[in-house]
Amino acid sequence: MKTVYRVLAYAIAVMVAVQSAAIGYAVFAQLNWMETGGTLDAAAFDTGAPGTAAMIFHALDAGFILLLALALLVVSFFAKIPHGVRWAVIVLVCTILQIAFGVLSHLTAVMGAVHGAVALALFGVAVMAAMRARKPVVVEETVPATVA
């Protein structure tokens, strides 16, 4: 279970990086397209203008990350990792907040800035959770001689 916990936590971190990559690609694909005469509006978005597929992937992948975070929480109940449940809850809450900020960005664009910043936090807590599940490293220590 420890390994499953670690893999899930790292998978979340990797998917957050993929999310950043997708949205970065989408923005520049759209800019490049507009610079060559394309008109970007809702209809162009819906009919497959460059970058659209990456944006749709970004939205769908958010749901996948949420499922990973839920799975991490369930696994944490059985994994016997010190503070493992706590970190899984932190990852899940962070994921929910991140999705909420993404949705709210459609209402207020400035929330998009928060959404971008919270991505780093989610990446960080996912890595931290994964590190909780590392196998303990055996360190040999020299036992000091008894002092009389």
Q: Which residues bind another protein (CB under 8 A)?
A: 33, 38-39, 41-50, 52, 63, 66-67, 70, 73-74, 77-78, 80, 99, 103, 106-107
Least CB distance to another protein at residue 38 (A): 6
User: Closer CB to another protein, residue 36 or residue 142?
Assistant: 36
114 vs 147 by CB, closer to another protein: 114
Q: How many CB atoms lie within 10 A of CB 94?
A: 21
Residue 67: strand, helix, or coil: helix
**DSSP line for 56-77:** HHHHHHHHHHHHHHHHHHHHHH
Query: Shortest distance, CB of residue 123 to another protein, whole angstroms?
Result: 22
Nearest to 129 by CA among 95, 78, 80, 88: 88
**Residue 69 C-beta: closest distance to another protein, Å:** 11
Q: With respect to another protein, which residue has the nearer C-beta, 10 or 33?
A: 33
Least CB distance from residue 140 to another protein, whole Å? 30
Q: Could you give the dihedral angle defined by the CA atoms of residues 82, 83, 88 and 93, in that order, rounded to the nearest 10 degrees?
A: 180
